[in-house]
Structure 1
């Protein structure tokens, strides 16, 4: 969520009290605004967004705290005493908005509820009510392309460790405008060396504790790579920081790590459902999930490699720890990777009705 910066010493909002601290490090006075009323604070929050001078990146948000949808990004806030904020006790999921449709909403919602159960959070609404809220939110946003992200939290209540003092769990959702497109380029990755992957309990649950994921991503960026690859304690390939990973062997087998220790990506599962079409056409020999060691993954047995994720839907990996994948030149995506990407992208645009829910925008 967007968090407004500390209020500057501007006096654009009238009648604002100011406290001056004499202990600023550089000897200058640091003025802290005191907002005497909610109207003053709202005005300042809206002023901050107006100063950004661009289209609203978050066209709509729902919060169970106030039980409705806001279209004002300045009001897209979460209580500071929500246990998701200060204890990380929350789960989330994301569905794609593409061409005025919600893609795989039900698949993502089912995983969301499994994650909530694992985290011992009971969302404040039934599954059908959550689904209805999300569709109404997408409609209110009028967004044609972007993402719909939603959270279940232990809820606001206090700053203790146990959620016993939280009256009720909370549900939040936001639409994020995003002009993504099918990835046709390739990226470089590195093996994560300094950031250990999460243990299976937390890796298989889509919870809000993404600090390991963030650090793994930063580790890669510091080395000039796009992202990283985690390897588990047994030496098997696991996943990327927020994506699944897949391989195509020289024998034209599509291989994906099993989901027992990593997040079961909705897009990855859909790829496993669609990829047999290429087997029928003779482009692939087989589609399977199995463990693959780091040594095997980096050997000459692998011809192509890719990330699998919602907005990609596939992103070719062309170099790993500085070495090209297969016989590639380290620049161009492989043919079978793009064939699989085309399958997913076509499904996102023209797939069956149970995968693509039309958003009922009002006239």
Structure 2
């Protein structure tokens, strides 16, 4: 019996990596024994960055606004990090106006943000009015001229379990990104994505699970295109990897795919309203949402991506086939 037990123990130990006293390793992992040394290392990294891309962040961990990028971190045990249990949204901010400063469509984006959090079963510890105040004060504290404001609601930090029921509370984070943007005028090429699109349950909420979106973008770049187009299982046009797509037919109709299986983009909703003015001017005959097949879409007169920082990006070729006359 003793011999059998010893053999079993050896087999068990063989499954574990052990570091013996005499082992020599070329790579040594540094152990930070004080927070001051760790902060010094973080500041060293950011001191090499000429322009700080993130001028301000709000974190529920600190309970306030942070201006030091070295401290703009979130807990590793936050369920948004290791389980993808979180939602987010992005808005354009402009503090460069002569007579105003604004966050573009704050109410519309916050409404969608809270709808997404409800679908994801995450309750905000702050009421809507407080979220609005935090975002406004964060934009002001950043002191940037132009940029975007991205914010997240997470199930919260506390453990590495699958269920968040034992977590103390949800967590809210927001960051200002210093980036200039203007109307995109140069046309791009796209492809039809072979990466499966998310199911309507997940594609209609703005959640942090963007792996399919990332893979769709990478697939396009590997093929020399800007981005991709998702087509649903019925053969109808859906959306791009992180943008809506819209078309103008040769009959002068402005068409956006139905929103039942895709994200209801705030920018494209605004564009649908603005396009009605072109109907009044006689430049368009109609503005509507509809199902479009790939054949119908590729034969359109114009095609475009629509998103917050674009806001409209002309698409001049799809799967190497020119759209319209192939010009913007």
TM (norm. structure 1) is 0.82
Equivalent residue for 2:172?
A: 171
In the TM superposition, what are the counterparts of 1:66-215 in structure 2 within 5 Å? 66-98=62-94, 99=96, 100-193=101-194, 195-215=195-215
What secondary structure, in the 3-state scheme, does the structure 2 residue paired with 1:123 have? coil
Cα 1:185/1:63, change in 2 over 3 Å:
same
**Residues in 2 aligned to 1:86 and 1:304: alpha-carbon distance in whole angstroms:** 41
**Residues in 2 aligned to 1:321 and 1:285: alpha-carbon distance in whole angstroms:** 28
Deviations 1:50-106 (A, max 9, x none): 123x11100000001110010000000010000000000000001101234211111
Deviations 1:16-52 (A, max 9, x none): xxxx99565xxxx112111111111111111111123
Equivalent residue for 2:53?
A: 57
In the TM superposition, what are the counterparts of 1:277-356 in structure 2 within 5 Å? 277-299=277-299, 302-326=300-324, 328=325, 330=326, 332-333=327-328
Deviations 1:159-193 (A, max 9, x none): 01000121100000000000111111100000002
Q: CA deviation at 1:276?
A: 0.4
**Residues in 2 aligned to 1:267 and 1:108: alpha-carbon distance in whole angstroms:** 10
Equivalent residue for 1:259?
A: 259
What secondary structure, in the 3-state scheme, does the structure 2 residue paired with 1:197 have? coil
In the TM superposition, what are the counterparts of 1:38-53 in structure 2 within 5 Å? 38-52=35-49
**Residues in 2 aligned to 1:304 and 1:157: alpha-carbon distance in whole angstroms:** 50
What secondary structure, in the 3-state scheme, does the structure 1 residue paired with 2:29 have? strand
Cα 1:303/1:44, change in 2 over 3 Å:
same
- Superposition misfits of 4+ residues, deviation over 6 angstroms: none
Q: CA deviation at 1:235?
A: 0.2
**Residues in 2 aligned to 1:81 and 1:289: alpha-carbon distance in whole angstroms:** 42
Unaligned runs of 5+ in 1: 1-19, 334-363
Rg larger in structure = 2
TM (norm. structure 2) is 0.90
Contact 1:217 1:228 in 2 (8 A): yes
**Residues in 2 aligned to 1:49 and 1:166: alpha-carbon distance in whole angstroms:** 32
**Residues in 1 aligned to 2:31 and 2:125: alpha-carbon distance in whole angstroms:** 34
Deviations 1:214-234 (A, max 9, x none): 000000000000000000000
Aligned residues: CA RMSD: 1.3
